[in-house]
Homo-oligomer: A and B are copies of this chain.
């Protein structure tokens, strides 16, 4: 029986290489670790990681030596840290790799066989070390190790919506890792393990605090705590960012206004930035949610978002910092289709932001739904540096308990063709600067990490942290390859397990789409805590209700965003606006996003829309039952603890998928007035029962007891 694993080690388990000849091959090749004479900072971190990794993988770590002796060596360094690299003629190759890239070569130096990890900067060496250790974990042959790799995106950010009281907005894996009360004096060893995990997948920025920000984080007391974390993260190349509350000049600066054009406000931000950089020389910058969902912002003073962002950008610029301005903005009163508002707000501002002001655009135009078409701002801001924002924490994807691998969702958005400069202008290429030229751009994701022992709560939720990091490094990677690699690193190399679990992962997101919001439906969740179905929500602010978005009536269902409706399709470049705008050319998976469709409309399946809706909801629930059986068949392939954990959670997911299916279809049936299709397994409860359910104390929101 395999020893129980609590999941703490993530994909960095460093268990002994099972294949004995392969292990011997590695041992022979990595006879000594050569990183030069004076090893400090990130290089020391790279050496420590190598020693930790190889001692686990190979049984013992090779000795570290200042230079090559007689045995085969693993050589790691930059031209500056290791003069012997000069002899290996890597300069030309290194030139292409920038500040963070690395290369791995098998070569000889004075007759000694060397595996060389070389980079222009020490951080590249660390990335190379993590890459090499991953290959060893996967049991790859030495002959396959040679590679060159550099990140395609500059900012690879993890955003924590963590409050100062350690609750996490929309957090489902416990509470915040940051123990503010004991900082800066006590450093939980977990801080370093967090930075290790981030660096191991190439993430280089961590936003410590909630976008719904508290100005207190910018006071001296807290900045000293932040600096202590930054010191831990620094050798791993993870820069610290903070959310800046736009009204901080009032709340902690003693000013009467936060008007970005007021000299005192400019001075406040300048002095604040100076103070931060005195404590944290490599501080990344500010993330700002302004004039959105009640947050203060420049529009409170009739200033534009660009005017607001630029004041912060100017304060940060002398220190090399950036301001990341969220484009998730919509009017404080329901008015124009929410889908359109960010585009309308920001397109006129294109070119008005400073070079170090980046606009952070959610993957879709509404709010991290199970499926959204890509946000029309991608490609529409040729002169503005962009970040694309995803949500790893499962606010709309089952909260704490649903297995939903997001690799396919990330691929789907990044692969989407905007057509802004002709075919092939994918979101990924827009972000890479290949469409409009070389802005500094990147990805951001709302973290799914918390204080639970296994970091992400659901054992499979770790895969979303992993996949996100890998895709931020290279948006061209494929979700299925990443899933396979993650499974091997995290669980076992047993091919049957990997194949079956990979299939589960790849099907999981579509299952969620089907049992929650098939065919382009969106925003059907319960009020406020967003846990479970609430398609009947019709009270409160209109564009926070479900009925606003699904618009079901006796004729049909769906939000008409074509030219006959809100005309949001016009925000997409041709030919997309035509393709989305006509039912015949619109992908069926987005029909109800862009069109109000008649219940009896025939679909390619031959079913009517109503019957297809029933079919999809059912297929989603059935898929979860299938995942549950698959998983049951894998008992014994991995340790009992993690197998039981996933089994228990799949049982919850199965129950909840059925709850979504039954509640939504019973509700929509009150409009369609059509029977369930023949053979359809009837709902288990009544609509009244589902509507009466009140879930309390759902994680991720604060509720007064």
Question: A216: nearest residue on chain B (CB-CB)?
Answer: B696
Q: Which residues of B contact A655 (CB under 8 A)?
A: 185
Q: Which residues of B contact A651 (CB under 8 A)?
A: 185
Question: Of B399, B401, B451, which one neighbours A175 at CB under 8 angstroms?
Answer: B451
Q: Is A401 in contact with B186, judged by CB distance below 8 angstroms?
A: yes
Per-residue contact bits, chain A 160-191, to B (CB 8 Å; 1 contact, 0 not): 00011111000000110000111001110100
* In the assembled complex, A699 has its CB within 8 A of some CB on chain B: yes
Q: How far is the CA of A641 from the CA of B698 in the complex (A)?
A: 35
Residues from 480 to 517 in A contacting B, C-beta threshold 8 Å: none
Question: Of B165, B189, B699, which one neighbours A181 at CB under 8 angstroms?
Answer: B699
* In the assembled complex, A703 has its CB within 8 A of some CB on chain B: yes
Q: Which residues of B contact A185 (CB under 8 A)?
A: 648, 651-652, 655
Q: Is A648 in contact with B187, judged by CB distance below 8 angstroms?
A: yes
Query: Of A165, A400, A645, A655, which is in contact with the most chain B CB atoms at under 10 Å from its CB?
Result: A165
Q: Is B216 in contact with A182, judged by CB distance below 8 angstroms?
A: no
Q: Is A641 in contact with B697, judged by CB distance below 8 angstroms?
A: no
* In the assembled complex, A586 has its CB within 8 A of some CB on chain B: no
Question: A653: nearest residue on chain B (CB-CB)?
Answer: B185
Residues from 186 to 211 in A contacting B, C-beta threshold 8 Å: 186-187, 189
* In the assembled complex, A598 has its CB within 8 A of some CB on chain B: no
- How many protomers of this protein does the assembly include? 2
Query: Of A166, A186, A401, A651, which is in contact with the most chain B CB atoms at under 10 Å from its CB?
Result: A186
| Chain A interface size, under 10 / 10 to 19 / 20 to 34 / 35 or more | 35 or more
Q: Given A164-B696, A185-B651 in contact, is the A705-B175 Cβ separation under 8 Å? A: no
* In the assembled complex, A702 has its CB within 8 A of some CB on chain B: yes
* In the assembled complex, A135 has its CB within 8 A of some CB on chain B: no
Q: How far is the CA of A400 from the CA of B180 in the complex (A)?
A: 11
Per-residue contact bits, chain A 388-418, to B (CB 8 Å; 1 contact, 0 not): 0000000000011100000000000000000
Q: Is A182 in contact with B705, judged by CB distance below 8 angstroms?
A: no
What distance in Å separates the Cβ of A502 from its nearest Cβ neighbour in chain B?
24
Question: A694: nearest residue on chain B (CB-CB)?
Answer: B221
Question: A651: nearest residue on chain B (CB-CB)?
Answer: B185
Q: How far is the CA of A174 from the CA of B187 in the complex (A)?
A: 15
Q: How far is the CA of A649 from the CA of B702 in the complex (A)?
A: 30
* In the assembled complex, A109 has its CB within 8 A of some CB on chain B: no
Question: A6: nearest residue on chain B (CB-CB)?
Answer: B189
What distance in Å separates the Cβ of A21 from its nearest Cβ neighbour in chain B?
30
Task: Jot down 26 A-B pairs with beta carbons below 8 A, ordered by A.
Answer: A164-B696, A164-B697, A164-B705, A165-B705, A166-B175, A166-B699, A167-B167, A175-B175, A180-B697, A181-B697, A181-B699, A182-B400, A182-B401, A182-B649, A182-B652, A186-B648, A186-B649, A186-B652, A189-B641, A214-B705, A216-B696, A216-B697, A216-B705, A451-B451, A453-B453, A702-B704
List the 5 shortest-distance A-B pairs measured between CB atoms, nearest first: A186-B648, A164-B697, A214-B705, A185-B652, A165-B697
4 further A-B contacts with Cβ under 8 Å, apart from A165-B702, A182-B400, A451-B451, are A165-B697, A182-B652, A186-B645, A216-B697
A contacts, CB < 8 Å to B: 163-167, 174-175, 180-182, 185-187, 189, 214, 216, 399-401, 451, 453, 641, 645, 648-649, 651-652, 655, 696-699, 702-705
